[in-house]
Amino acid sequence: MKIEEFEHKIIKVFSTNEKKYITVKEISKLINVNEKKYNRLIRRIIQNIVNNQKLLIGSCSKGFFIIETQDDYNVSINKLLKIRDGIDKRINNLETSWTVKRLMDL
């Protein structure tokens, strides 16, 4: 299946889903693919849909969801900020460790 087909099917899942939250496992079942094999691809496609098509899809521990309210927006943004904070911390630790290593090699 081509990426465009995956994208179309995933958008259709969000437009027809009656539940508030939907997991990758549920998306996998609805588009008839193996969850374990396509987990990362599904997540990447959802990310691309948000970034390129500007659809309001958020995520939280319960799954993905359409952002419809201020609370939905806040939940999604707060999750992304926590992820960004973790990435920033990792970058800072790597930079510090690399600097220390280089100084010790002198």
CATH code for the structural domain at 1-68: 1.10.10.10
Rounded to 5°, angle at Cα 75 from 70 and 77? 90
Q: How confident is the model at residue 3 (pLDDT cuts 50, 70, 90)?
A: confident
**Residue 1 in this model has a pLDDT that exceeds 80:** no
Average pLDDT over residues 71-99: 96
pLDDT at 22: 96
Burial of 19 (0-12, 13-18, 19+ CB in 10 A): exposed
Q: Which two tokens stand for residue 79?
A: 């999750």
Per-chain mean pLDDT for the chain: 93
Average pLDDT over residues 18-23: 92
pLDDT at 6: 87
